[in-house]
């Protein structure tokens, strides 16, 4: 009987051993998700449905099971940017957001800090779907790391369209926007534009 138990134990542990080793190796080689502090600023013109859609997409990106980022606590409250909310993307908004971001007291070892701005008016495009919202992401640099990725659009109607590729496009676009802004490094204070 002892021989049967010993053979059974060897068979179980012998078969499980490689699987346990493989799962441990996979866990060690799985890349960790970037930890980023995100503050959302909603401009005055943005609609509630757009804000909800943008926040839902952000929530998906930070989902513990399949998200792309781990969200850190922002180093300042959202009302830090309250004076920027009546500006428009592409106008004075860049100066306003970056003015506060480059002057924020953020520790060197802190997670990258990104401000995500939701706006109502997306740039006109020939392939426009109608109802798009504009999303602009700002990091701590004085200029965007990737201007195209950091000034993008989302289509809130995609959430009502089942089986559509637009939802995936929106998730990818917002992820690229945040990742590009997070890659910016602080190189000094954002100064007023000189004409």
Across 116-148, b (16+ Cβ under 10 Å) vs e yields: bbbbbebeeeeeeeeebbbbbbbbbbbebbeee
Q: Is the pLDDT of residue 187 over 60?
A: yes
Contact predicate 153/107, CB 8 Å: no
What tens digit of pLDDT does each residue of 166-176 get? 889 999 999 99
What are the C-alpha distances in Å from 116 to residues 22, 96, 150, 158? 39, 13, 9, 20
What is each CA distance from 75 to 26, 71, 108, 177, in whole angstroms?
34, 12, 12, 20
162: phi then psi, degrees, rounded to nearest 5: -80, 140
Q: Mean pLDDT score of the chain, rounded to an integer?
A: 82
Share of the chain above pLDDT 90, in %: 52
Per-residue confidence band for 7, with pLDDT thresholds at 50, 70 and 90: very low
**What mean pLDDT is predicted for residues 160-186?**
89
Question: Residue 114 pLDDT > 80, yes or no?
Answer: yes
- 40-54, 101-115, 127-141 — which is least confidently predicted? 127-141
Decide: pTM greater than 0.85.
Answer: no
What's the rounded mean pLDDT across residues 25-50?
80
């Amino acid at each position: 009987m002892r021989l049967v138990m010993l053979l059974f134990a060897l068979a179980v542990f012998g078969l499980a051993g490689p699987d346990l080793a493989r799962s441990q190796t996979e866990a060690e080689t799985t890349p960790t998700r970037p930890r980023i502090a995100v503050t959302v600023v909603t401009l005055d013109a943005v609609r509630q449905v757009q804000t909800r859609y943008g926040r839902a997409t952000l929530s998906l990106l930070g989902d513990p099971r399949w998200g792309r980022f781990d969200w850190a606590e922002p180093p300042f409250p959202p009302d830090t940017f309250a004076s920027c909310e009546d500006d428009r993307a592409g106008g004075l908004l860049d100066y306003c957001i970056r003015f506060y971001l480059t002057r924020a007291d953020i520790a060197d070892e802190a997670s990258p800090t990104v401000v995500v701005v939701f706006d109502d008016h997306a740039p006109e495009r020939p392939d426009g779907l109608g109802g798009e919202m504009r999303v602009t992401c700002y990091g701590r640099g004085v200029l965007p790391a990737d201007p195209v990725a950091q000034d993008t659009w989302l289509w809130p109607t995609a959430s009502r369209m089942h089986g559509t590729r637009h939802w995936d496009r929106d998730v990818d676009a917002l992820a690229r926007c945040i990742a590009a802004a997070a890659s910016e490094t602080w190189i000094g204070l954002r100064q007023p534009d000189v004409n």
